[in-house]
Amino acid sequence: MKEWLAAGGRGLFIRSYVVLAGGLLIVAILLDLGFGALQARQGRAADPWLVSTLRLMESNLAAVPADARPARAAALGRQFGLEVGLLETGDISSATPLGNEPRELRDDSGKSYYLWRAPALGGAIRLGPFEPQSEGVLTRLLPVFFYASILLIVGLWLRPLLADLRTLTDASQRFATDYREPLATSGRVTQLSSLARNLDDMSARVSQLIQSQKEMTAALSHEMRTPLARVRFAVAVLEGEVDERHHLQLRAVSNDVQQIDDLISDMLDYARLDHPGLRMNCEFVAVTPWLRQVLLSGPPHDRNVKTVHPDDLEKLWMEPRLMELALSNLLANAVRYARRNVLVEVAHEQGLYRLVVEDDGEGIPEAHRASVFHAFTRLDTSRNRDTGGFGLGLAIVARIAALHRGRVTAGASAALGGARLALEWPGP
């Protein structure tokens, strides 16, 4: 039930509908009760025709002797089509005071009577009983129609508004996932067109700004490689012409140049993954040859790397070039921090492909497991040659996971005791 409410913005629609429609219904009911109470307190003014009729009867009855008045009252009743009775003063309850206007009374069956104080007769005149006025079907259904119309009007007004909000929310979420596609919602909304146009313009400016920054970074990285190549060539020439002391210094310079070149390579890879022209060409790739190729293409190291995958998993659905880059970065991270052992596991469960790399190093503190995938984030801030890295490797992995409509998470390895980095993505 909770999933059904959350899907497609149904929860927002239902909550808004209940609040608005319920509020209007409560106000309408309170107003109805309030007006009814006011009318009951004010009382209705006596009908002038009824007063005239009673006065006419009183004068007519007063003109005859007291013993002839009951017969005269019966005759007047037949004449007017009413039941007319006479009451002595002692027959009137003290709880029923009579004034100068007719008093309406009702019995247990709902029938009504009118009492009129008649001083000329020494008592009162009673008219009735009158049958209660029956309400028609339309009269009884009128409140139902009124409240139903409130519900209908609120629903008709709210539905397109919330549909626009859902459209803008979905488009904003897509833009947050991939900034390369600006919003285009102004032609798809009906009520919030002004807001949609502003969001479209803002997303276009943000997308252009980020892409310009990425293009500038890529261009600078390309341009930096040319002077670095000249420096590396000059160092190689000088190494053959200097003594041992200067030879060690030149070797250190060469290592620094190599680190800068590695940083440029990582920056180019990261910028390339955000390029608007990047297209995903996913295909089924055989698992075993692909894993062997990635392991052989990595730099030499002295760690024990073990691969595990189910026998029935023969192929992976992925973009092989990008996923190779992701696994290479995961392996480089694991080899850098592992003491001795690294485990690579490939699996396919519940429609998701999973690539897991574990190591027996110190692991990643729980407070930093989300931030390690941000660009230029490193837990080791010393940047010495032993640990290496520039904080771009895992950011590249996160971007490749997003391009595969998946995600990458960091945790603790139950098997080796170090870090556990898991990349998951859906199939075709």
Q: How confident is the model at residue 360 (pLDDT cuts 50, 70, 90)?
A: very high
Phi, psi (5° rounding) for residue 106? -130, 140
* Nearest alpha carbon to residue 328 among 357, 304, 308, 307: 357
Is it the case that residue 410 has pLDDT exceeding 80? yes
Is it the case that residue 208 has pLDDT exceeding 70? yes
Is it the case that residue 174 has pLDDT exceeding 60? yes
> Which pLDDT belongs to residue 247?
74
Is it the case that residue 353 has pLDDT exceeding 90? yes
Residue type, 47: D
3-state helix, strand, coil in the chain (%, to 5): 55, 15, 30
* Nearest alpha carbon to residue 355 among 314, 316, 412, 306: 316
Which carries the bigger pLDDT value, residue 286 or residue 370?
Answer: 286
Token pair, residue 84, equals 């007319």
- From residue 408, alpha-carbon distances to 8, 111, 344, 355 in Å are 26, 80, 15, 9
Sign of the alpha-carbon torsion through 292, 295, 301, 304: negative
Where helices occur in 178-286 by DSSP H, the ranges are 193-239, 244-273
DSSP class of residue 296 equals: H
Place of tokens 């009814």: 36
Which carries the bigger pLDDT value, residue 277 or residue 283?
Answer: 283
Is it the case that residue 389 has pLDDT exceeding 70? no
Is it the case that residue 350 has pLDDT exceeding 90? no
Distance CA 216, CA 208 (A): 12
> Which pLDDT belongs to residue 424?
93
Distance CA 399, CA 65 (A): 112
**Pairing assessment for the beta strands 407-412 and 419-426 based on DSSP bridges:** antiparallel
Token pair, residue 151, equals 């519900």
Q: How many CA atoms lie within 13 A of 412 on its CB side?
A: 6
**Which residues pair with residue 84 across a beta bridge?**
127
Strand, helix or coil at 226? helix
Average pLDDT, integer, range 239-258? 75
Q: How confident is the model at residue 8 (pLDDT cuts 50, 70, 90)?
A: very low
Distance CA 151, CA 143 (A): 13
* Nearest alpha carbon to residue 117 among 88, 147, 75, 80: 88
Token pair, residue 163, equals 């549909």
* Nearest alpha carbon to residue 270 among 392, 180, 377, 376: 392
Distance CA 332, CA 266 (A): 12
Q: How confident is the model at residue 396 (pLDDT cuts 50, 70, 90)?
A: confident
Domains of the chain: 2-41+156-171 (no CATH), 82-134 (no CATH), 193-273 (1.10.287.130), 283-426 (3.30.565.10)
> Which pLDDT belongs to residue 39?
59
Segment holding 415, helix H or strand E = none
Distance CA 364, CA 377 (A): 13
Q: Across 17-150, where does the E strand assignment appear? A: 84-88, 103-106, 112-118, 123-130
> Which pLDDT belongs to residue 262?
72
Which carries the bigger pLDDT value, residue 7 or residue 161?
Answer: 161
> Which pLDDT belongs to residue 136?
60
Contacts with 182 (C-beta within 8 Å, 6 or more apart), sequence order: 175, 200, 203, 204, 206, 207
pTM of the predicted model, to two decimals? 0.51
- From residue 129, alpha-carbon distances to 57, 75, 77, 111, 144 in Å are 17, 17, 12, 6, 32
Q: What is the pLDDT of residues 85-104, one digit of tens each?
A: 888 776 676 556 676 778 78
Token pair, residue 334, equals 């694991």
